[in-house]
Structure 1
């Protein structure tokens, strides 16, 4: 226990020092920090963009391999462990995990932006619209959830089956053994902390910016970096107080509100946004998405476009892997590896595709009816895309306010969960970390996001995008090695189970022979 506590303090203190230094440097050397971010962004995307594509392709191959292999039968837990939740409860939580600020932010703006500036061909055409929807499906479909499944598998297997701490470093036990408790393991956990910080900061920046521009779009309140920072500060106070005061019922109510409000918006937009057009568009896009899945995964035809879109997304998902991986791992004890990978990869991905199909399809349909109103709004400020869409539908006075409520509850839910994960990662894998530690990380997340917004100025989202890619790069390398570590553990586990099975068979044969004799 003493060794564990020492380890806990080391990871926590190093993470705090680095986070504090980052905030101070951002405050006092704003231009220099921005310049460094831009240089790192150019270095990574120019020289290693291909590695992001190959790595995510490897994760998909690895996941498919586990599903079809005998290893898929191995449980995330002991052999006699039963699932903690019913199938319905489990599926509901996985669906809930598929909804967040990013999906609300990009579901209208991204398809329209690809339509106007496609990665190939001429913009503004029918083929550009079809390509835009396919690319949006690609960014929000199978790939991100396979990344989360791999991250969650490393946590769930070694925690529930091998009784190791609920830490990223535990997934490397087959490769480095007890050194997971030493400097190597601590370094892995610290990298996971910073990947989480910047991944969440990107989402919080997107969400707060959308709230600010929504307020300007609806009521004329000017959206500035200061306005965005104030919004972040207010919501940080809300979720931090909820975290430290133990308002679990309030947070559960917010989660339920997010789910039901999301479903209500989907139904409303589907009904009034052109249901037949949406269904036709969805069917066509789904077929095109499946048909081009492999080629799109490794496509490097427009490097500049890839840097701003696909590589950013892959880095963002990788940065979120410790966070979402922890969530899906925690609710999946007692499931087989095959069940886990299929459910985590396909269920939330399917929900995301339906979401994009409804919002994106309605955007294109209403854009045509309104003679280009939505594309003009996106061209002027893509953060207002959702409100431009709702403006073309009935009850705009009500739905615009509810849209801001939806963004806020997504914001609060993600930030609250992230504080929990950060506290867990810096407390030796304690699955019920101290409330003060959770509160401290809540404040730190808010400060870091505010600093990134202020550093970026009018290019705040670019600064967040850059920070996310930079922070995710080392964690991507960790995830690649994690795949080999998991495979080594599963191979040994399966061989041991086969030997035990044969031993039991011999015992049964021996018992039968004695009975005959």
Structure 2
């Protein structure tokens, strides 16, 4: 079935045809859905029939080659995205409203912020808020940011500053570029809510041909594999936490059980839609996360009050040195952390950006970018300061497992920090719940994004289709854990990160296309 939509670019009306097929409860775009599904099957077959160790080694070598050869490009592109977004905030274009001057926001500000935060990096903050700053401070693996001497006052400040550098403005600017571009061309120009639509000012009618198909197919693969990777790694972290709290020794069976449970709840959530699904879960999760943050901050009030300003100063003072890829004395740390982080954020940007775009109609460009860049950076500063500061002070004072042994296992670091606090077991249980629900919201929003892209940009697709993608994510994660465990998951992660190279070029072209689109928009 072919559906034709009219839209206008540069005051000229156009009509496009979306070659969608409706069958078996699905409404899919032939080329994007078919090719994406075929590539997913081929990739899984290759992983399943090959030795996981060999697959990991091969994909790791590809990832390392990309990281080492294109390190400067990743860093400079990340810097450009930050400057680009900050420039739009203060420019006259900031007054443009997504959806037109009379458009109204579809979600309350608090729900909107909760959803974009939960989809963007909520789970990452649970995993890395203790391990990363403590690891930088102690020089875990012999690597420290900017080559500072471990376990010194300067190392404390640089560790917190480097952590915020990875979780502050840069990743959210990357997400913001994709989200703003998609939202503008969908809501102001009437194009399908799909990555390809952003490139109409550059590609013209080729946007609806194979040039556009390839862009959307890459977005589907990066999103699906990124979510499956995170689901597998998250199951391992949650299993480690359960074993830590209850003294059990659950292994692969427990991890698969966790994935099955998360997938079942995700299926229910995506079937309910955004309002009764991901929005409700995001609101609950952010409320519980706030309670956890306040409790840990109150227990270590003096530590938190000392660490927050230290983190801010460390972030500001080291922003330029960390943003400079040239002449660094800490090349191993740069490649092992910053460049990999940038590649990961870029590979996740089609997923997170698409979801943020979907929930952001009615916001002005200025309001949108402030919410996407500044608000998460402020919240993350407080979160990292409270959790990371507590962990580093435990190391300084020799308190608990972190103080005596340092970071022994990344997935356990947060739970080990909780052990040294009052009500540590309860805090760890809450932490496990947060990890699981953050994964549910990420999987939920990711399923909605893949569903939309494979349907040619439609957002009102059959429930069956949304459920299908949620099931596929879970099955991929289970298959990888069953066949190759951590090695297979890490192989997929390496493959996902490798997609960042073409997406960096795509994001840079997005900025050009967005400015061309803005020039056609009337604003007061």
Query: Does TM-score exceed 0.5, indicating one fold?
Result: yes
- Which whole-Å deviations, capped at 9, do the CAs of 1:109-135 have from their partners, x for residues lacking one? 111111122131322222222211111
Match of 2:138 among 110, 116, 129: 116
1:84 — aligned with what?
106
Match of 2:346 among 306, 310, 318: 318
1:183 — aligned with what?
210
The whole-number CA distance in structure 2 between the counterparts of 1:264 and 1:287 is 26
Residue 303 (structure 1) aligned with residue 331 (structure 2): yes
TM-aligned CA deviation for residue 352 of structure 1: 1.2
Structure with a larger share of its residues in helix = 1
Q: Tell me which structure has the larger Cα radius of gyration.
A: 1
| 1:355–1:490 CA distance, 2 compared to 1 (3 A) | same
1:144 — aligned with what?
171
Residue 489 (structure 1) aligned with residue 489 (structure 2): no
Unaligned stretches of 5+ residues in structure 2: 4-16, 21-27
1:208 — aligned with what?
235
**Normalising by structure 1, what TM-score?**
0.89
Shifted more, 108-117 versus 252-261: the winner is 252-261
> Contact 2:307–2:386 (CA<8 Å) still a contact in 1?
no
2:198 — aligned with what?
171
TM-aligned CA deviation for residue 202 of structure 1: 3.5
TM-aligned CA deviation for residue 381 of structure 1: 0.9
SS of 1:309 mapped into structure 2: helix
- Which whole-Å deviations, capped at 9, do the CAs of 1:328-351 have from their partners, x for residues lacking one? 222322222222212211011211
The whole-number CA distance in structure 2 between the counterparts of 1:260 and 1:201 is 26
TM-aligned CA deviation for residue 479 of structure 1: 0.8
| 1:432–1:232 CA distance, 2 compared to 1 (3 A) | same
> Contact 1:312–1:465 (CA<8 Å) still a contact in 2?
no
The whole-number CA distance in structure 2 between the counterparts of 1:469 and 1:435 is 30
TM-aligned CA deviation for residue 445 of structure 1: 1.3
TM-aligned CA deviation for residue 137 of structure 1: 0.8
TM-aligned CA deviation for residue 384 of structure 1: 0.2
- Which whole-Å deviations, capped at 9, do the CAs of 1:114-167 have from their partners, x for residues lacking one? 112213132222222221111111111111111111010111100010000000
2:25 — aligned with what?
none
The whole-number CA distance in structure 2 between the counterparts of 1:127 and 1:295 is 15
SS of 1:335 mapped into structure 2: coil
Shifted more, 226-235 versus 130-139: the winner is 226-235
The whole-number CA distance in structure 1 between the counterparts of 2:55 and 2:121 is 32
Match of 1:13 among 34, 38, 55: 34
Match of 2:126 among 97, 104, 108: 104
| 1:282–1:48 CA distance, 2 compared to 1 (3 A) | same
Unaligned stretches of 5+ residues in structure 1: 502-517
**Normalising by structure 2, what TM-score?**
0.88
SS of 1:5 mapped into structure 2: strand
SS of 1:111 mapped into structure 2: helix
Superposition RMSD on alpha carbons, in Å? 2.4
> Contact 2:32–2:213 (CA<8 Å) still a contact in 1?
yes
1:513 — aligned with what?
none
Query: What is the number of residues matched between the two proteins?
Result: 495
The whole-number CA distance in structure 2 between the counterparts of 1:123 and 1:456 is 35
TM-aligned CA deviation for residue 415 of structure 1: 0.7
TM-aligned CA deviation for residue 462 of structure 1: 4.0
TM-aligned CA deviation for residue 456 of structure 1: 5.6
TM alignment of 1:332-347, pairs within 5 A: 332-347=360-375
The whole-number CA distance in structure 1 between the counterparts of 2:408 and 2:486 is 14
TM-aligned CA deviation for residue 12 of structure 1: 0.5
- Which whole-Å deviations, capped at 9, do the CAs of 1:165-217 have from their partners, x for residues lacking one? 00000000100112111100111011111121233233323321210111222
- Which whole-Å deviations, capped at 9, do the CAs of 1:66-105 have from their partners, x for residues lacking one? 2233222222222332333454554454555555211101
| 1:249–1:491 CA distance, 2 compared to 1 (3 A) | closer
> Contact 1:98–1:352 (CA<8 Å) still a contact in 2?
no
- Which whole-Å deviations, capped at 9, do the CAs of 1:417-468 have from their partners, x for residues lacking one? 1111111110011112222221221122123333444566454664354133
Match of 1:270 among 283, 289, 297: 297
Residue 255 (structure 1) aligned with residue 269 (structure 2): no
TM-aligned CA deviation for residue 62 of structure 1: 1.5
The whole-number CA distance in structure 1 between the counterparts of 2:273 and 2:85 is 37
Structure with a larger share of its residues in strand = 2
